[in-house]
C-alpha cells in the first residue's frame, strides 16, 4: 500500500494518518466514522494525543474542516502534507500561494452547496423586493387588523439582475432569475461566451445597469471591498444588493451608510465582515433581510458533501483522481 512507506512513525498495521485541521468548536457528524478508517491526528483532541507531535510530521493528508484558516506557518508544522481535502465552497481561509509553493493539492466542496447558495440568494432577493420577512414581522406584531396599509414592495419579474461572479453558484442564480422573467447580466474574471447573458467587464457598468446586484464571487485580494461606494452609487436609490459570498466583498461601513441614508433600496445579507457581528444600524432597518451565514448549506447537501469528502480521502491513498480539485 502506497501510504504505508511514508507513514514511517506509525506501526505497519495502523490505518493511514489524517490530520484534522479545525477550529476547536467545529465538530462534524462523521468524525467518529473517520476513526474507523484513519489514524486521526487532532491537535484539539481532549485529552491531548501524545503521539500527535511526532505523527503529524509524517502525515501526507489533511482534512481542513469548513472555513478553518490554514496558514503558511501551519504548513511548516506539517512538512509531509501533500494534499488538503477541503469541505468549504469558498477558499479564502486557505493560503493557496503557500500550497502552490509546497506543491500541495487542494480540493474544495465543489458544487455540493451551489444549489443551496443559489436557492438562498434568490430567496433573499424576493424577500427584500417583496418584503416578505417584513410582512411576517408586521403580522406577528398584530399590526394587520390595526393598519390596513402595507408596503407592497417591488416587482421581481422583469428586474435587471446583475451577478458578480458567474461561476458554479452564479450560473445557477442566473438560471433561476431567468425563469422569473428577469434580465440577467454579469461580471466575472472572464466572459463566458457559452452563456446567453450580457457581460460587463467593469462592475460599475454592471451596477448602473442593474436593479438587483447579487454578490457571489470568491473573496480574494482583488475582490476585497469590490462593492465600494462607487458601485453602490451606480446601483442607485432603488437598487438592492444580495450578498451570499463573503462579508468583505462589500465595504460594509459604506453599505450601512448607503442603507441608512436611503441611497440604495435594500439589502439581503447572509454574510458580514466581522461575523457574528452585525452592524447594529442594520437591525433597525425594514428594507434589509439579515441571515447568519447559512446560505451555504442544508442538511441534504451536507450529506452529499460528506460523501465527496470521504471519497476524496480514500481517492488520495488509492492514487485515484480527486473530486473538486483546485487549479493552483
CA atoms of 218 and 90, how far apart (whole Å):
6
Q: How far is the CB of 185 from a copy of itself (least distance, A)?
A: 17
Asked if 274 and 250 count as a contact pair (C-beta separation under 8 A), the reply is no
The answer to whether residue 292 forms part of the interface with a copy of itself (CB under 8 A) is yes
Instruction: Give the CA distances from residue 137 to residues 120, 142, 156, 266, in Å, rounded to whole numbers and listed in that order.
Output: 20, 9, 21, 17
Q: How far is the CB of 117 from a copy of itself (least distance, A)?
A: 10
| Span interacting with a copy of itself, options 8-16, 150-158, 247-255, 313-321, rule CB under 8 A | 150-158
Residue with cell 484558516: 69
| Span interacting with a copy of itself, options 51-59, 127-135, 194-202, 319-327, rule CB under 8 A | 127-135
Asked if 250 and 224 count as a contact pair (C-beta separation under 8 A), the reply is no
The answer to whether residue 238 forms part of the interface with a copy of itself (CB under 8 A) is no
**10 vs 168, which CB is nearer to a copy of itself?**
168
The answer to whether residue 276 forms part of the interface with a copy of itself (CB under 8 A) is yes
The answer to whether residue 179 forms part of the interface with a copy of itself (CB under 8 A) is yes
Region 6-45 residues binding a copy of itself, contact defined as CB under 8 A: 25
Q: Does the active-site annotation cover 238?
A: no
CA atoms of 255 and 237, how far apart (whole Å):
12
**275 vs 307, which CB is nearer to a copy of itself?**
275
**39 vs 171, which CB is nearer to a copy of itself?**
171
The neighbour count for residue 202, using CB atoms within 10 Å, is: 10
**158 vs 262, which CB is nearer to a copy of itself?**
158
The answer to whether residue 266 forms part of the interface with a copy of itself (CB under 8 A) is no
Q: Does the active-site annotation cover 194?
A: no
Q: How far is the CB of 290 from a copy of itself (least distance, A)?
A: 4
The answer to whether residue 130 forms part of the interface with a copy of itself (CB under 8 A) is yes
Residues 6+ apart with CB under 8 A from 111: 168, 324
The answer to whether residue 196 forms part of the interface with a copy of itself (CB under 8 A) is no
The answer to whether residue 144 forms part of the interface with a copy of itself (CB under 8 A) is yes
The neighbour count for residue 90, using CB atoms within 10 Å, is: 22
**115 vs 205, which CB is nearer to a copy of itself?**
115
Contact pick of 18, 28, 34, 156 for a copy of itself (by CB under 8 A) = 156
The answer to whether residue 198 forms part of the interface with a copy of itself (CB under 8 A) is no
Q: Does the active-site annotation cover 275?
A: yes
The answer to whether residue 181 forms part of the interface with a copy of itself (CB under 8 A) is yes
The answer to whether residue 122 forms part of the interface with a copy of itself (CB under 8 A) is yes
The answer to whether residue 306 forms part of the interface with a copy of itself (CB under 8 A) is no
Asked if 220 and 249 count as a contact pair (C-beta separation under 8 A), the reply is no
Give the residue numbers marked as catalytic. 246, 275, 293
- Judged by the rule CB under 8 A, the positions of this chain that interact with a copy of itself are 25, 115-116, 118-120, 122-124, 126-127, 130, 132-133, 135-140, 142, 144-145, 148, 150, 152-158, 175-176, 178-181, 275-278, 283, 289-292, 294, 297-302
Amino acid at each position: 500500500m502506497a501510504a504505508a512507506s511514508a507513514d514511517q512513525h506509525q506501526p505497519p498495521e495502523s490505518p493511514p494518518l489524517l490530520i484534522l485541521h479545525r477550529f476547536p468548536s467545529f465538530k462534524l457528524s462523521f468524525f467518529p466514522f473517520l476513526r474507523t478508517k484513519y489514524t486521526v491526528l487532532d491537535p484539539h483532541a481532549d485529552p491531548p494525543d501524545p503521539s500527535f507531535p511526532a505523527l503529524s510530521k509524517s502525515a501526507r493528508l489533511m482534512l481542513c474542516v469548513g472555513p478553518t484558516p490554514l496558514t503558511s506557518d501551519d504548513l511548516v508544522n506539517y512538512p509531509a502534507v501533500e494534499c488538503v481535502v477541503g469541505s468549504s465552497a469558498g477558499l479564502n481561509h486557505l493560503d493557496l500561494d503557500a500550497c502552490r509553493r509546497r506543491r500541495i493539492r487542494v480540493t474544495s466542496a465543489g458544487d455540493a452547496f451551489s444549489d443551496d447558495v443559489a436557492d438562498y440568494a434568490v430567496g433573499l432577493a424576493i424577500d427584500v423586493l417583496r418584503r416578505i420577512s417584513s410582512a411576517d414581522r408586521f403580522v406577528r406584531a398584530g399590526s394587520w387588523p390595526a393598519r390596513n396599509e402595507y408596503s407592497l414592495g417591488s416587482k421581481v419579474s422583469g428586474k435587471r439582475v446583475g451577478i458578480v461572479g458567474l461561476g458554479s453558484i452564479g450560473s445557477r442564480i442566473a438560471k433561476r432569475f431567468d425563469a422569473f422573467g428577469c434580465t440577467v447580466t454579469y461580471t466575472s474574471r472572464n466572459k463566458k461566451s457559452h452563456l446567453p447573458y450580457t457581460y460587463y467587464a467593469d462592475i460599475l457598468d454592471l451596477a448602473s445597469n442593474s436593479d438587483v446586484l447579487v454578490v457571489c464571487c470568491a473573496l480574494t485580494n482583488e475582490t476585497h471591498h469590490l462593492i465600494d461606494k462607487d458601485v453602490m452609487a451606480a446601483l442607485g436609490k432603488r437598487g438592492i444588493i444580495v450578498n451570499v459570498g463573503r462579508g468583505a466583498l462589500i465595504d460594509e461601513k459604506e453599505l450601512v451608510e448607503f442603507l441608512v441614508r436611503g441611497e440604495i433600496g435594500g439589502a439581503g445579507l447572509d454574510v458580514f465582515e466581522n461575523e457574528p457581528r452585525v452592524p447594529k444600524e442594520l437591525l433597525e432597518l425594514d428594507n434589509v433581510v439579515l441571515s447568519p451565514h447559512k446560505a451555504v448549506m442544508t442538511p441534504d447537501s451536507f450529506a452529499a458533501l460528506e460523501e465527496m469528502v470521504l471519497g476524496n480521502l480514500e481517492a488520495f491513498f488509492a492514487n485515484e483522481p480527486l473530486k473538486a480539485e483546485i487549479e493552483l
